[in-house]
Amino acid sequence: MRHRHTITRLLAATALALPLTLPATPAAAAPAGTPARQLTDVIPAPAETRPDPRDTFTLGPLTVIRTSPHSTPARQVGRQLAEILRPATGYPLPVLPVHATPLPEIALLIGGADARLGQEGYQLDVTRRGVTIRANTSAGLFAGTQTLRQLLPAQIEASERQRTTWAIPGGSITDHPRFAYRGAMLDLARHFHTVGEIKAYIDLLSQYKINFLHLHLTDDQGWRIQIDSWPRLTTVGGGPGTGVDGAGPGYLTKADYKAVTAYAAERHITIVPEIDMPGHTNAAQSTYAELNCDGVAPPPRTDTAVGYSSLCIDDELTYQFIEDVIRELAEITPGPYLHIGGDEAHATTDEDYTTFMRRVLPLVSKYGKRAFGWNEVMQVDPATDVVAQFWGTGTTNTDLAEAVARGNKVVMSPANKAYLDMKYDRNTPLGLSWAGYIEVRDAYDWNPAQRVTGVGEDAVLGVEAPLWSETLRSLDDIEYMAFPRLPAIAELGWSTAASHDWESFRTRLGAQAPRWRLQDVDYYPSPQVPWL
């Protein structure tokens, strides 16, 4: 009863709220040259798609977003969807936590969905009468709304009202991810990126069903996270003149970091913080002399060399320092993982490296987190819950294969496929090329479960696209390197191996361009892609 009441009131309110100029029937069809959307025009490719060309749902001024009654998470996803759809449509799109309405509706329902959908999958049905998205969790529901967003005409991404027919192709989609971990990484150490820039990147990542954002918070050139027990790490180690060429100063306060993790969580993205050690530590060691074996602080460094710094392995103070950092960071990290780097420790002997890692890895567990490390960490035969992040360019790695045989899981970031900081070709103005050039097809055409001998489907937790920022300063720079390769890695992480198809991918990718233009995303117009 109460519900019917709400609806009647809503209908009245909606009618009043309608802009007077709004046509009774939708104005114009999609502009010439823009083909109608198909149910399959989605990145990452959904697991199962059953188009029904007889049905189309058209979003109109009376459409409501209906969410499962009494479900706060469903209502939250409904509000987020409404915020995306309102600017371009100009429709009120009220969010109503009620049972079925007589109005045309987008229903967002949590619970009672097919068990096969798991924790992140969803079922999306489009009929003439409306759209229904069902999922077992709010993460799945959110994923479904991102698919719906791509099924609408590209103009939906405009920030001002557009005149078009908001048609959604009929049929149904059943979708769930191949891998649990679908990540991106941003390097804040070489050039700091602001909270606003990180949030903007999160907005883009969430559209492609990325669910982890790894933040590389410390390196030789800068320390970017507030640690109260070692306060000069940020004021000096992240202060003026830090970053590559001294041009990337700045740091996240704990409040900033919490704001970023909360913003990410609302978009179903978990932050994985990284403190790189025992190498890549010059910013800390040049700030605190006592972190050096000889007690002398080296000068700060703003060049891009790697492998020259090492914490002092035999000094107890090193472990007190690391424990302070891990404790404080774990306290403000809601996610399950804490990354301890471990790459390129060329200034640490193998024996010292093992000593160090065997003391530090248990500290991560002590503070309730699961450790992540670059693949070098597998040299020390860590506990099987430690996740290895593979960044090599080859297809064999004995330490990694042995770790997998013991039970460790792997996130795949092969540098010659998944590194977003590699140039596309020799003319790319930004980026590096030590792992080769990576055109869009190179980024797309590989199988994470067949890349490294001995690391098969069951051992792969997922994929991650790291973006190192030696050469990147602005959000535009980030976007130019990430787009269009980030959607390629996102598809490898989400879509089935059987659906892998370059021709299909490049066509779907080309159709994303109008969306990026409307969102002001600065992308690389690769000649390999038929851009719309």
Are 192 and 222 a contacting pair, CB within 8 Å? yes
Q: Is residue 343 at the binding interface for ligand NGO, with CB under 6 A as the rule?
A: yes
Q: Closest CB to ligand NGO among 125 and 376? A: 376
Q: Which of 468, 480, 516, 523 binds ligand NGO (CB under 6 A)?
A: 468
Q: Is 491 in the site for ligand NGO (CB under 6 A)?
A: no
Closest separation between CB of residue 190 and ligand NGO, Å? 7
218-219 vs 212-216, strand pairing mode:
unpaired
Looking at the Cβ atoms of 114 and 344, the one nearer to ligand NGO is: 344
Q: Based on CB atoms, which residue is closest to ligand NGO, 466 or 514?
A: 466
Q: Of the candidates 122, 201, 337, 419, which one interacts with ligand NGO according to CB under 6 A? A: 419
- Least separation in angstroms between CB 421 and ligand NGO: 5
Tokens of 227: 């640690």
For residues 155 and 457, the answer to whether their CB atoms sit within 8 Å is: no
Using CB under 6 A as the binding rule, whether residue 477 contacts ligand NGO is answered as no
* By CB under 6 A, residue 401 contacts ligand NGO: no
- Looking at the DSSP assignment, which residues form a beta bridge with residue 183? 212, 464
Distance between CA atoms of 444 and 486, rounded to whole angstroms?
A: 9
Q: Compare residues 164 and 309 and give the one whose CB is closer to ligand NGO.
A: 309
Separation between Cα atoms, residue 319 and residue 340, nearest integer Å: 13
Q: Please give the residues from 493 up to 522 whose contact with ligand NGO meets the rule CB under 6 A.
A: none
Task: Kindly tell me which of 77 and 380 has the beta carbon lying closer to ligand NGO.
Answer: 380
Which run of H or E residues covers position 7?
helix 2-17
Unique residue bearing structure tokens 């000068």? 299
Toward ligand NGO, which CB reaches closer, 124 or 213? 213
Q: How far is CA 232 from the centre of its chain?
A: 30
Our finding on whether 223 is near ligand NGO (CB under 6 A) is no
Query: Considering only residues 431-450, where is the footprint of ligand NGO by CB under 6 A?
Result: 432
For 14, 160, 339, the CA distances from 273, given in Å and listed in that order, are: 45, 36, 6
Taking the CB of residue 307, how many other CB atoms lie within 10 A of it? 14
Residue selected from 337, 391, 494, 505 as contacting ligand NGO according to rule CB under 6 A: 391
Residues whose CB falls within 8 Å of the CB of residue 284, separated by 6 or more in sequence, listed in order? 218, 223, 230, 233, 237, 291, 311, 321
Please report whether residue 306 would count as binding ligand NGO according to CB under 6 A.
yes
Q: Is residue 374 near ligand NGO by the rule CB under 6 A? A: yes
**Cα torsion 309, 312, 313, 316: sign:** negative
Cβ-closest position to ligand NGO: 468
Measured from the CB of residue 374, what is the shortest distance to ligand NGO in angstroms?
A: 5
Choice between 34 and 433, CB closer to ligand NGO: 433
- Measure the CA–CA gap between 341 and 334, rounded to whole angstroms: 19
Contacts of 423 (CB under 8 A, 6+ apart): 430, 431, 432, 433, 437, 438
For residue 431, which phi and psi values (nearest 5 degrees)?
90, 180
Q: How far is the CB of 275 from ligand NGO (least distance, A)?
A: 14
Residue 389 pairs in a beta bridge with 374, 411
Rounded CA-CA distance 184/442 in Å is 17
3-state secondary structure 69-124: CCCHHHHHHHHHHHHHHHHHHCCCCCEECCCCCCCCEEEEEECCCCHHHCCCCEEE
Contacting ligand NGO (CB under 6 A), which of 105, 175, 421, 477? 421
Question: 3-class DSSP state for residue 290?
Answer: helix
Minimum CB distance to ligand NGO, residue 425 (Å):
17
* Interface pick for ligand NGO out of 315, 344, 381, 476 (rule CB under 6 A): 344
In whole angstroms, the minimum distance from the beta carbon of 422 to ligand NGO comes to 7
Q: Which residues are catalytic?
A: 344
Number of residues that bind ligand NGO (CB under 6 A): 10
Q: How far is the CB of 281 from ligand NGO (least distance, A)?
A: 12
**CA dist 134 → 125, 126, 370 (Å):** 9, 12, 31
Does residue 391 contact residue 374 with C-beta atoms inside 8 Å?
yes
The residue ranges that bind ligand NGO (CB under 6 A) are 306, 343-344, 374, 391, 419, 421, 432, 468, 470
